[in-house]
Structure 1
Amino acid sequence: MAGELSPSPILQDALVILGAAGIVIPVFARFKITPVIGFILIGILVGPFGLGALVYDYDWLQYITISDPEGLDPFAEFGIILLLFTIGLELSFNRLWQMRRLVFGLGAMELLVIGSSLAFVLAMMGQFWIGALALGFALAFSSTAIVLPISGTRSPVGRAALSMLLFEDIMIVPIVFILGALAPYAQSDGDSSIVTVLWQGGLVVIALLVLGRIALPRLFAQAARTKSPELFLAASLLVVIGASLATAATGLSPIVGALIAGLLIAETEYHGEVESIMEPFKGLALGIFLITVGMSIDLRSIWENLWPIVAAVVLVLVFKALVTGMLLRFMGARRSTAAETGILMASPSETTLIVLSAAGSAMLIQPGTAQFWQIVTAIGLTVTPLLAMLGRAIGRHVEPVPELTEEERGEPRVIIIGVGRVGMLVADMLKAHDRPYVAIDSDADLISEARKLGYLATFGDAARGDALSRLGIERSPAVVLTMDEPVLAQRLTHKLRKAYPDLLIVARARDSVHAADLYRAGASHAVPETLESSLQLSEAVLGDIGVPMGPVIASIHEKRDEFRDLIQKDAGLEHKPKLRTSSLQN
């Protein structure tokens, strides 16, 4: 009919994506399954090889299918950029420097050994050596977008995975350039192009580091003064997009700029607010990326080449898992960590698809070969959550972590989150006053060491799942957060206060600014390390110069209360949170 308005393809695609998110996330959360699988399955269902193929026969299907899969690619790329940005927020330059041995040692060995080994096998199977090299290194990549949300970045598995993935992200640009230089019709200036990208990219990175340290605190301070969430969100998006465009303009990957932006903001006191604001956008954009992965899977083509595809998937997964696990053992990792990380990192990556596309454009591999390995990669991405569960089960089997007995779970206990130096000291004080406790940590090495020293400790990630529920947090008189992870402590405090309004939450803080953040998140008490060290120094000097200990202790307590009141005032709290009455009090 003339003048009839046709539905907007963009709005139709938005309807499908938001509808998928509204269905997938609650349903899979109910069954405690990662929504990664759900988004990929939705992509298969609504993509051009699923219901989208029937649109011409049934017009009404256009409202529940994706009409232009390629149109979602920019949103999928933005999801990966936001993912790397939030990873940067969880890190810091000091922590990254501490990981340099893993990144440039373990990460380099993993990529080089797996890439060259797969290339050798493919060459022996008849693939021309340049194409075999391209395929080998393409398949050696693992998925940053899927692996890190599953593993986190703080457990031994998460740290090992992060180090390898960071090196892979660094190597994307050199590998793509080398493939272009090896192309049959490549220009002779390939080497000079790489050098140009490296020096220009290096200058941009240095400029971002310098300008970021100067400008970002002022930018977010101004946004904070307005008390406008919209302005804070706009400033966050400005920083991450600007940094990504700056690195992309020199030929580097935009995710390098996103990671640097996250690291810079992590050094400011506004990192917690930025992370909470960006979290929903990251999750939705990541869901779009996973839907695009699902849309690339052609079930008919898989069926026609079922056994070769199955064999390729199994061989790649097994080989990568074995090599990664052996390298981790060589680097000194525990058997459980090596087994779980190796299996988790076994699948190919979204980066594999980028490298395959570059190899195809450079005419290093045939289109049919590229399509075959794209299907293998899509299937590998789909099964990554299943690999995570398999790896966790095998890791616990090869090296079981001591669990609490039923008797140890029975009575209400103070829960100590973190079993490092501070956590053990808190446990010692609780034992000295006959107060039952239990410590929880996601580092299996720390748990085993604490058990050997006689501490009641169990393995678990307090930030995930029902780990604290298993310890009886509903009946616990208090929770003590001892980890030296400011972002995690603040996030966990907020989560606990929301779930348990009357719970006594005592948190370790780096300084008075971090303590104020913890009070705003809901901490009952936040103890700054800098304050306590100053008070201990004062106590020591006053006692040694002859001041009676009674007045000294009284003045120390008075000064501590004074500083606590000031910090709470800075946090905008007029009254302390209501505390649960302890069932262990005499």
Structure 2
Amino acid sequence: MEEASHSLTYWEPLLLLFGAVLGATLFKRLGLGTILGYLMAGVAIGPVARLISDGEELLHVAELGVVLLLFIIGLELNPSRLWAMRRDIFGLGFAQVLLSGAVIALIASFGLGLSFQASMIIGFGLALSSTAVAVQSMEEQGVLNRHYGQTAFSILLFQDISIAPLLALVPLLSPGGEGVEAMSLASFGIAILAVAALILCGRYILNPMFRLIASSGAREVMIAAALLVVLGSASLLQVAGLSMALGAFIAGVLLADSTFRHELSADIEPFRGVLLGLFFMAVGLSLDLNVVLANWLIILIGVPTLIMTKAALLYGLCRIFGSSHDDAVRVAGQLPQGGEFGFVLFTAASSALIFSNETASLLIAIVTISMALTPLSVALGERLVSEDDPDEMEEDWDGAGADVMMIGFSRFGQIVSQTLLAGGSDVTIIDHSAARVRLAERFGFRIYFGDGRRREVLEAAGIRDAKLVAVCTNGRASTDAIVELIKTEYPHVKLYVRSYDRAHTLWLRQRDVDYEIRETLESALRFGQESLEALGTDTMTAEAITEDVRRRDEDRLSIQAAEGLTAGNEKMHTRPVLPEPLIKPSRESRLLNPKDEKEAEKQAN
């Protein structure tokens, strides 16, 4: 009996993993994205097959995926960059929440005859979009760093901030639910103190703590510390009445300038991916089909009304705040759905007797279905952009195909192309920037517009006939996606990759790419050598010192590949090496290690 109970303990996790793998793979292959795959897998396992019934309980655990996602995003946004986005966050974001909430509240009040209190909660609850769905969708498309991606993220960030005052509205609007307390200035003060405490800890404690842990060389402790910081900061702000996601985001921003930023991101990423997939499955599991079937007409009208209302308001506000037509259309396509914080707000409102549990279930169903329809709204937004968009152009692969395929034609790729062409190699160049492609065409380059992360683009450009693929893209996310695709689909091709930084180099070596080089390595070594010569070091010695630094760097990479990013520090120089000069170059102008020097002295004697 005990063995049967023990085996049942693993049944639900196994079922969820199977559903995640099958659903995400199938929907990704169909071009609909992994988000919809997770959602549909959850619906199939829960409401349809009734194999798992506790979807709401699972949702509370899976929300940690959203928390980890916001932490990783925060790591990419240092305080100065966040300050530069302040107009979109506190201007456009505030306007979106206020206007969308007011308009949807009016529709609920006059269209459905609901009370003022219920209309207010419904309006502002549905004004919030899904951070998890939208950010995951933009990450998959690789557009988070584009202008409209940053605009959409700014709106989402303000929405996450606004959940605290919206939850504070619930007791004020309550007709007298049990256990409901009026909001006080003390609660606001506690929230401010919690944020201040988090900022102070981030500035004066986190970096020294990670430095101490890293010096121990225990990789598993570093991972545990990363999770502790994320969950601790999230819990601190939750206790203070703010959102967990906001706490994790602030912690990420405070560590954005840290030397441990890339290692923290790498440590958290696997947990983020699994828990975020689980979150979307939990949303599907928690969908009440009885509510959907009983109110199918309301949902049939309500979901498209919500999506079209929010999309129209988003488009108008983006245009007012200076976005182009195409950027405004794309933002409107990314954010018209309801959000996960709506679940929290509607549940709190039903507990406070603002509206019934049945109304809360209906609203949650509308939010869930709108989230599931996000891939369709994104696709529709892409179809509505103008044909003369400067960031888009028609793909034309006439004449493509060569021994060398180059993906990415920014400054790095342009210099690489000169060496290849000068050596007589034919090169097919792919770049996703229409402006760059048009400019390169004027100079006579054989360049094609396309996204190297898409399999059909690589096929059309002739990857099956290529002997070597040079990945010279700018951002790490794009590079990683291209490398994973090529290693999976075209393992026969030699893969030469431009590395973003040290952590990226280690990641690429784990993928067994044929060659990688950090984009700044050789130029920095050359710069240092020229600086030494300017200070009076002779050329031969300067060259030998440079070679020593290059060798030490390679040795350190080998150590880090085996022991982690914080290992191998003894290979770095952090103080001047004395006595000077560091090395006495040999007649062959190469660096001699101590054993070689002794041998040379013996031969000389």
* Band the TM-score falls in, shorter-chain normalisation: 0.7 to 0.9
Work out whether 1:203 is the aligned partner of 2:174: no
- In 2, the alpha carbon distance for the partners of 1:4 and 1:406 equals 61
Residue of structure 2 in register with 1:23 after alignment: 22
Which residue identity is paired with 1:143? Answer: S
Contact 1:131 1:365 in 2 (8 A): yes
Counterpart pick for 2:558 among 572, 582, 586: 572
- In 1, the alpha carbon distance for the partners of 2:321 and 2:414 equals 27
Residue of structure 1 in register with 2:583 after alignment: none
Residue of structure 1 in register with 2:591 after alignment: none
CA displacement 1:43-69 (0-9 Å, x = unmatched) = 22332x4333xxxxxxxxxxxx11433
Counterpart pick for 1:216 among 210, 213, 219: 210
Give the C-alpha shift of residue 147 in structure 1.
1.5
Q: Which runs of 5+ in 1 are unaligned?
A: 53-64, 576-586
- Assess, with a 3 A threshold, how the Cα gap between structure 1 residues 3 and 80 changes in structure 2: closer, same or farther: closer
Give the C-alpha shift of residue 104 in structure 1.
2.5
Work out whether 1:171 is the aligned partner of 2:162: yes
Residue of structure 1 in register with 2:594 after alignment: none
Counterpart pick for 1:375 among 352, 358, 365: 365
Say which SS state the counterpart of residue 154 (structure 1) adopts: coil
Residue of structure 2 in register with 1:407 after alignment: 398
Give the C-alpha shift of residue 318 in structure 1.
1.0
Contact 2:428 2:461 in 1 (8 A): no
Contact 1:348 1:377 in 2 (8 A): yes
Work out whether 1:127 is the aligned partner of 2:114: yes
TM-score relative to the length of structure 1: 0.79
Residue of structure 1 in register with 2:149 after alignment: 158
- In 2, the alpha carbon distance for the partners of 1:506 and 1:555 equals 31
CA displacement 1:214-233 (0-9 Å, x = unmatched) = 222332443xx24x5x4443
Residue of structure 2 in register with 1:60 after alignment: none
Residue of structure 2 in register with 1:113 after alignment: 99
CA displacement 1:298-324 (0-9 Å, x = unmatched) = 334323322221111111111111221
Give the C-alpha shift of residue 349 in structure 1.
1.0
Which residue identity is paired with 1:50? Answer: V
Give the C-alpha shift of residue 527 in structure 1.
4.2
- In 2, the alpha carbon distance for the partners of 1:450 and 1:104 equals 39
- In 2, the alpha carbon distance for the partners of 1:421 and 1:374 equals 49
- In 2, the alpha carbon distance for the partners of 1:117 and 1:211 equals 45
Work out whether 1:321 is the aligned partner of 2:311: yes
Say which SS state the counterpart of residue 63 (structure 2) adopts: helix
Residue of structure 2 in register with 1:180 after alignment: 171
Say which SS state the counterpart of residue 505 (structure 1) adopts: strand
Say which SS state the counterpart of residue 406 (structure 1) adopts: coil
- In 1, the alpha carbon distance for the partners of 2:442 and 2:354 equals 56
Work out whether 1:12 is the aligned partner of 2:3: no
Which residue identity is paired with 1:405? Answer: D
Q: Which runs of 5+ in 2 are unaligned?
A: 562-605
Contact 1:179 1:359 in 2 (8 A): yes
CA RMSD of aligned residues (A): 4.0
Contact 1:217 1:268 in 2 (8 A): no
Residue of structure 1 in register with 2:281 after alignment: 291
Contact 2:314 2:328 in 1 (8 A): yes
- Assess, with a 3 A threshold, how the Cα gap between structure 1 residues 17 and 527 changes in structure 2: closer, same or farther: closer
Which residue identity is paired with 1:218? Answer: L
- In 1, the alpha carbon distance for the partners of 2:369 and 2:317 equals 25
Residue of structure 2 in register with 1:75 after alignment: 61
- In 2, the alpha carbon distance for the partners of 1:557 and 1:427 equals 27
CA displacement 1:192-228 (0-9 Å, x = unmatched) = 3223322333323332343222222332443xx24x5
- Assess, with a 3 A threshold, how the Cα gap between structure 1 residues 221 and 70 changes in structure 2: closer, same or farther: same
- Assess, with a 3 A threshold, how the Cα gap between structure 1 residues 404 and 424 changes in structure 2: closer, same or farther: farther
Contact 1:269 1:514 in 2 (8 A): no
Structure ID, larger Rg = 2
Alignment of 1:484-499 (within 5 A): 485=475
- In 2, the alpha carbon distance for the partners of 1:203 and 1:104 equals 22
Counterpart pick for 1:103 among 86, 89, 98: 89
Residue of structure 2 in register with 1:246 after alignment: 236
| Aligned length in residues | 548
Contact 2:210 2:222 in 1 (8 A): no
Contact 2:59 2:283 in 1 (8 A): no
Contact 1:508 1:527 in 2 (8 A): yes
Give the C-alpha shift of residue 135 in structure 1.
1.2
Residue of structure 1 in register with 2:131 after alignment: 144
Say which SS state the counterpart of residue 395 (structure 1) adopts: coil
Say which SS state the counterpart of residue 526 (structure 1) adopts: strand
Contact 1:269 1:513 in 2 (8 A): no
CA displacement 1:395-421 (0-9 Å, x = unmatched) = 37574822342235233455242x555
Alignment of 1:356-395 (within 5 A): 356-395=346-385
- In 1, the alpha carbon distance for the partners of 2:417 and 2:162 equals 45
Give the C-alpha shift of residue 275 in structure 1.
3.7
* Worse overlay, 170-179 or 407-416: 407-416
TM-score relative to the length of structure 2: 0.77
Which residue identity is paired with 1:330? Answer: I
Give the C-alpha shift of residue 377 in structure 1.
0.7
- In 2, the alpha carbon distance for the partners of 1:437 and 1:565 equals 34
Give the C-alpha shift of residue 20 in structure 1.
1.3
Residue of structure 2 in register with 1:57 after alignment: none
Which residue identity is paired with 1:75? Answer: V
- In 2, the alpha carbon distance for the partners of 1:240 and 1:544 equals 47
Contact 1:325 1:339 in 2 (8 A): yes
Work out whether 1:50 is the aligned partner of 2:44: no
Residue of structure 1 in register with 2:292 after alignment: 302
Give the C-alpha shift of residue 118 in structure 1.
1.7
- Assess, with a 3 A threshold, how the Cα gap between structure 1 residues 408 and 251 changes in structure 2: closer, same or farther: farther
- Assess, with a 3 A threshold, how the Cα gap between structure 1 residues 199 and 464 changes in structure 2: closer, same or farther: farther
CA displacement 1:352-411 (0-9 Å, x = unmatched) = 111212222333334333222221111111111222233233337574822342235233
Which residue identity is paired with 1:108? Answer: F
CA displacement 1:232-279 (0-9 Å, x = unmatched) = 433332332222223223222221232234445554455444444443
